[in-house]
Amino acid sequence: MIAASPMSLAPKTIELFDTTLRDGSQTAGINFSLEDKVRIAERLADFQIGWIEGGWPGASPKDTEFFERMRQRQWAKTKLIAFGSMARPGKSASEDPGLRHLVDSGADGACVFGKSWGLHVTKALGISFSENLDLIEDTIRWLKEQLPSVFFDAEHFFDGYRENPEYALEVLKAAHSAGADGLVLCDTNGGSIPSQVAATVADVIRHCPDVLVGIHAHNDSELAVANSVAAMEAGARMIQGTMNGIGERCGNANLVSIIPILQLKMGFNCGIDSERLKQLASLSRFVNEMANRQPWPYQPFVGHNAFAHKGGIHASAVQKDARLYEHLDPELVGNDRLILISDQAGKSSVQLKMAEMGFDVARDANDPAIRTAINRVKELENRGFAYEGAEASFQLLLLKAMNRFTPFFELKEFKVIDERHGDQDAPISEVSVTLLVGEEITSTTARGNGPVNAMDNALREALLPFYPALASMRLTDFKVRVLTTNQATRATVRVLIESTDGHAEWGTVGVSANMVDASYQALADAIQFKLMTDKTVPHEQ
């Protein structure tokens, strides 16, 4: 019998292990920038995910730099994990440079994967079963001497267990005897089904009582969530997954679905309090923005249509008692009920944002300006605006709709010139902008390495004489998403910009069939928001 693990948990308590930044980043078409990774990590920590796997330090410059950036983290409950592999065959763990990267990364612990399927031991590694066990023991024992937390991902465990259960269990015992804090059973190929998972997890727990057992499921059979839930019912107490189920091939277990299933339907404690759980829909959309993906409107729990009712019996019934056609209250996960024929759709979201901005919602509830704001939000969202990741634009929109915002400048016109002379020369971008600042007209022309950069430079040059505080402001990220791909080069695009002044960060958005115009909208909002939050007085001549 294996001794009790220091990570053993109370019944009904679940450890959430997020691998969005590592396994999720292997999704085809997703390429997180360094800033994306930092922002996602901070958002996950604010949501109080227990463990965040940040990447593989030493495997890529981006991941190495990410861990360097995260040395300054100040997280209340969340731990940062570095991912890696066993020591190389024929080399001791203390001599392996890859393992040294994990230790030197500044992470709170490591998660390393090892082979538990005999086919991989002999075919992929080309070593014997006993050599594989020695490799696992040596790696984990050395890491545990260096780090407070070490988890073992038993790669291809369910395939290995079906072929040779005795050896698969020996692999787990080797890892635990060396000091692993948790044994994570991986359905790496995503081919298992819930009944197999449940039976396997139960058998593992019978042979290895008092050990923290986890599940890492892939979605190749569209059963990753079901397999993860089945593992919890069988006694596993750690779930590895990603936000929105992103991951290589068909993706990973979707934590956005798993968390409410476990916490709201099954009575497990995932460490997410009820107020933070209301941020789940927002978190899902935020990660989609960072991944430059359109949110799936039909995604369970958090999708735009997850609680949508289109007329007829359903719409009438939920207005009387939502339980008639809804499996839970959408507010519990931060979503909204959408009655497609009702003018109430969206009101709760606007009122929530107003409360965050300090308005007395109860007092202002019947203000006609609120209805104006709601209608404006709906109109713009229909045109393609999305405000997750662009909170600054959303606040400005509400204030403008309620006639509570005085602009610091107004656009009179801008002109863009893009030139390129010959195939070998670099293109030249030049933007001329004319603004009304107070009662004064100012015009500036600036160049940049592209039309958006030139627009940014022109706006700054025009406004700095009036608002010197803008000198501290800079852009940290810029994304363009095509919204109407079927229109080819006539497509509408959405531009998302991130800005900072060294103290705060904020996001803004613009939408247009003209990319430069969409960029201007986002840039202008970024500047207006900076001046508003600085409590700058609008210029008057």
**Domain regions of the chain by residue span:** 15-27+35-272, 346-408+467-541
Indicate if the pLDDT at residue 5 is higher than 80: no
Give 354 or 113, the one with higher predicted confidence.
113
Give ∠ CA 482-346-311 in degrees, rounded to 5.
95
pLDDT, residue 350, reads 64
Indicate if the pLDDT at residue 530 is higher than 90: yes
Residue 496, H or E segment: strand 493-500
Cα–Cα distance for residue pair 285/302, rounded to 1 Å: 8
Cα–Cα distance for residue pair 375/401, rounded to 1 Å: 9
pLDDT, residue 50, reads 98
Give the strand pairing for 15-18 and 338-339.
unpaired
Indicate if the pLDDT at residue 487 is higher than 80: no
Instruction: Convert the pLDDT of each residue in 512-527 to its tens digit.
Output: 999 999 999 999 999 9
pLDDT confidence tier of residue 511, bands split at 50, 70 and 90: very high
- The Cβ of residue 360 has, within 10 Å, a number of other Cβ atoms equal to 9
CB burial class (10 A; 0-12, 13-18, 19+) of residue 76?
exposed
β-strand partners of 134: none
Which distant-in-sequence residues (6+ apart) come within 8 Å of 232 by Cβ? 14, 215, 239, 262, 266, 268
User: Which two tokens mark 238?
Assistant: 């750690």
**Mean pLDDT across the chain, nearest whole number?**
89
The arithmetic mean of pLDDT across residues 437-459, rounded, is: 94
Do 497 and 478 meet the contact criterion of CB atoms below 8 Å apart? yes
pLDDT, residue 319, reads 66
Residues in the chain: 541
Q: Which of 236-250, 286-300, 307-321, 433-447 has the lowest mean pLDDT?
A: 307-321
**400 secondary structure, DSSP code:** H
Q: Please give the biggest Cα pair distance in the chain.
A: 83
Phi, psi of 255 (to 5 degrees): -65, -25
pLDDT, residue 462, reads 96
pLDDT confidence tier of residue 348, bands split at 50, 70 and 90: low
Place of tokens 């958006």: 452
User: Which two tokens mark 268?
Assistant: 């497990």
Instruction: Convert the pLDDT of each residue in 141-176 to its tens digit.
Output: 999 999 999 999 999 999 999 999 999 999 999 999
Instruction: Convert the pLDDT of each residue in 41-73 to its tens digit.
Output: 999 999 999 999 999 999 999 999 999 999 999
Residue 426 DSSP SS3: coil
Give the strand pairing for 505-512 and 440-448.
unpaired
pLDDT, residue 320, reads 73
Question: Shortest CA distance to 216 belongs to which of 199, 201, 205?
Answer: 201
Residue 253 DSSP SS3: coil
**501 secondary structure, DSSP code:** -
Do 211 and 176 meet the contact criterion of CB atoms below 8 Å apart? yes
Indicate if the pLDDT at residue 224 is higher than 60: yes
15-27+35-272 and 346-408+467-541, same CATH topology? no
pLDDT, residue 1, reads 29
pLDDT, residue 28, reads 95
Is domain 346-408+467-541 in CATH 3.30.160.340, yes or no?
Answer: yes
pLDDT, residue 445, reads 96
Q: Which alpha helices (DSSP H) does 280-425 contain, by range?
A: 280-290, 312-320, 347-356, 361-364, 368-383, 391-401
The arithmetic mean of pLDDT across residues 16-22, rounded, is: 98
To the nearest 10°, the Cα dihedral for 124, 127, 128, 130? Answer: -110
Q: Kindly report the pTM of this predicted structure.
A: 0.71
For domain 15-27+35-272, give the CATH superfamily: Aldolase class I (3.20.20.70)
Give the strand pairing for 109-115 and 149-155.
parallel
Do 229 and 267 meet the contact criterion of CB atoms below 8 Å apart? no
Cα–Cα distance for residue pair 17/231, rounded to 1 Å: 15
Q: Dihedral of CA 66/68/73/78: which sign?
A: positive
pLDDT confidence tier of residue 342, bands split at 50, 70 and 90: very low
Cα–Cα distance for residue pair 242/198, rounded to 1 Å: 21
pLDDT, residue 345, reads 43
- Amino acid at residue number 252: N
The arithmetic mean of pLDDT across residues 321-346, rounded, is: 75
**278 secondary structure, DSSP code:** T
Residue 491 DSSP SS3: coil
